[in-house]
Structures are given as structure tokens and as C-alpha cells.
Amino acid sequence: MEFKRHRRLRKSLAIRELVRENSLSAKDFIFPMFVVEGENIKKEIPTIPGNYHVSVDRLNETLEEAVECGINGVIFFGLPEHKDECGSSAFDENGVIQKAVRKTKELYPNLWVITDVCMCEYTNHGHCGILHGHEVHNDKTLEVLGKVALSHVKAGADMVAPSDMMDGRVAYIRKVLDENGYEDVSIMAYSAKYSSAFYGPFREAANSAPQFGDRKGYQMDPANINEAMREIQSDIEEGADIIMVKPALSYLDVVRWTKDRYDYPVAAYSVSGEFAMVKAASRLGFIDERAVALEMLLSMKRAGADIIITYYALEASRWLRGE
């Protein structure tokens, strides 16, 4: 009888490691951080356990940990003191993100500092742009996004990451940055960002839930994949340097399609709900947190992600070095 003996290559750890196709490393991760106004604050976020709301004066503690873990990149989300109709504290030179970026670049000039460019944390209605009635007005929002991105870059951000899903934001932000002499600053576009229930824990953490309606008029329908390819195509044409698929776990097919079709670096954002599910199940004793989390992150690499944005960045880095 003739058949293939695939198990030959699984006989021992040595051979398994020799034929292993994908791997995970701290170098793959971007660590999301939530910066709050105020002083002496380091408060655990209930919906994203092990992650913190941190004030600028105590940012050094978390940054030191991240650097010590071997993390190359952080992405900042801000919780401002003041919200209004047009999210004006998002582009304030002394806004929470702008201060955090300046401090971080001062302490760790080699750390890659990314900022999330969006308005939902800064508007009193919680939508990602300027409202016209109950609709987010695309082109008016672009003007604000341009200001927000420029203010982040002036503070020293290495890369901006627009997450609003307005049309034309990459082109608009690219134009604003270029006109101001920031041709070297890159854009990581949340290109295929789905309207997902997996963002729940983040919206609690960032106090950014929409006060009415939902984000289905700008974020993508979870049923679609061709549309994701069109979004990505546009973002590349508009000047994106890195493209992102978000969420990650339920959208690994989208990650794979993206990697197969576009020769651009792909980031997968393993969002708050993915993290929270593993945390909660492990607290109930239903799963082995460490094994499941690492398996999930590895699946994103296997799907084709070059970069993984994850709330597990620090923990996973420690696990990977055997701690």
C-alpha cells in the first residue's frame, strides 16, 4: 500500500522547528496605549484587563516595559478632557495625544510612534466625523482629519493611522503632510475596517461609543470581501504605506486575500473583543490563555499579516521568551 508519511516531519521538536513555516516575535507587535488627561493616573481598564489608562506624566513606566519587551511600535489613543461637536481637542497642539507623542519621542526616540487619527473619542456625539443632521459628512470630516494628522506629526509622530473610514482621507492627509514638509512621515491606513461588534470593550475603554445610530454608514459590512479589496486599492492609490485589516480573528480570510493581491505590508488589528474573549474564557478556567492567545496571534501571521496590533503585545512577548 502506498501512502505519504507526513508524520516523519513531526517526530521531534527539532524537526518540527526545522520545518516550521511561520513564527511569532515581539518584533511583529504594535502595542495600543490609552492616554488620559490628568496627573499620576495608571488605572487598569476593566474591559481590557492588563491594559491601562495612563496620564502623560506616567507614560514612561509603560513605555519602558514595552521597550524592555522588545516592542518596536506603539499606537496611541487619547481620552480628552473636553468633547465638542467637531472634536476640536483632537487637533489641539496641547491635546493629550500631542503631549504623549512629544514625551515619548523625547524618552525613546527610536520607538516607532503611531497615532490613531479619528474623531470618535473627541466628539460629544461619538461619531467619527462632522455631522450633517444624523449623517457624517465625508468631505467636511476630511478637513478636520487633515488638521488632526498634522498636529500629531508636528508633535513628532512617525506614522499616522486614520481609522475613520471616510472616503479620500488617505489622499487628503498625504496632501496636507506633503504640503507641510512631512513627505517622510508614513500612513498606515485602516483600509478594511469592518463595522464590528468586536469593538465593544474598546468603546468602553475609550469612551467613544456613538450616542445614536451606529457606524454602518462608514465602516464596512462584515459580509463583504470584494469591497475590502476596493478600499485597499483606493488607499494604495492615495498613498498608504501600510494597509490594515480590522478586526483580525474573524477576518483572516480578508488578511490572506490582501496579502495575495497586494505587495504591501499588511497589518492585522486584533481588536479588544478578541482579547476580551480569551481573557474572560481563561478566567472561567475554560481555556489555557497563553496557548490560545499565542495560537491566535500565530494564525494572523499565517494568514499573511506582517504586523499585529494587539493588547497582548507585552504579555505575548514575555511568553515568547519563555517567561
Q: Which residues have a catalytic role annotated?
A: 193, 246
Alpha-helix residue ranges (DSSP H) falling in the chain: 13-18, 59-68, 96-107, 138-155, 169-179, 200-206, 226-238, 252-261, 272-283, 289-303, 313-320
126: left (phi > 0), else alpha (psi -120 to 50), else beta?
left
**Shortest distance, position 21 Cβ to ligand PBG, whole Å:** 28
Contact 167, 139 (CB under 8 A): no
Tell me the three cell numbers of residue 239: 498613498
Nearer to ligand PBG, 202 or 264 (CB): 202
**Shortest distance, position 271 Cβ to ligand PBG, whole Å:** 4
Q: Measured between alpha carbons, how far is 104 from 108 in angstroms, rounded to an integer?
A: 6
Query: Looking at beta carbons, which residue is closest to ligand PBG?
Result: 202
**Shortest distance, position 118 Cβ to ligand PBG, whole Å:** 4
66: left (phi > 0), else alpha (psi -120 to 50), else beta?
alpha
Nearer to ligand PBG, 69 or 161 (CB): 161
Contact 312, 274 (CB under 8 A): no
**Shortest distance, position 279 Cβ to ligand PBG, whole Å:** 13
> Phi/psi of residue 7, each to 5°?
-70, -15
Q: Measured between alpha carbons, how far is 142 from 125 in angstroms, rounded to an integer?
A: 18
In one-letter notation, the amino acid at residue 141 is: T
Nearer to ligand PBG, 180 or 209 (CB): 209
Q: Measured between alpha carbons, how far is 222 from 245 in angstroms, rounded to an integer?
A: 12
Burial state string for 96-135 with b = 16 or more CB within 10 A and e = fewer than 16:
bbbbbbbbbbeebeebebbbbbbbbbbbebbbbbbbeeee
DSSP 221: P
Q: Give contact residues for ligand PBG (rule: CB under 6 A).
A: 116, 118, 120, 128, 163, 199, 202-203, 208, 271-272
**Shortest distance, position 272 Cβ to ligand PBG, whole Å:** 3
Nearer to ligand PBG, 178 or 227 (CB): 227
Nearer to ligand PBG, 157 or 271 (CB): 271
**Shortest distance, position 116 Cβ to ligand PBG, whole Å:** 5
Which strand (E) or helix (H) includes residue 162?
strand 159-162
Sign of the alpha-carbon torsion through 199, 201, 202, 204: positive
Nearer to ligand PBG, 264 or 269 (CB): 269
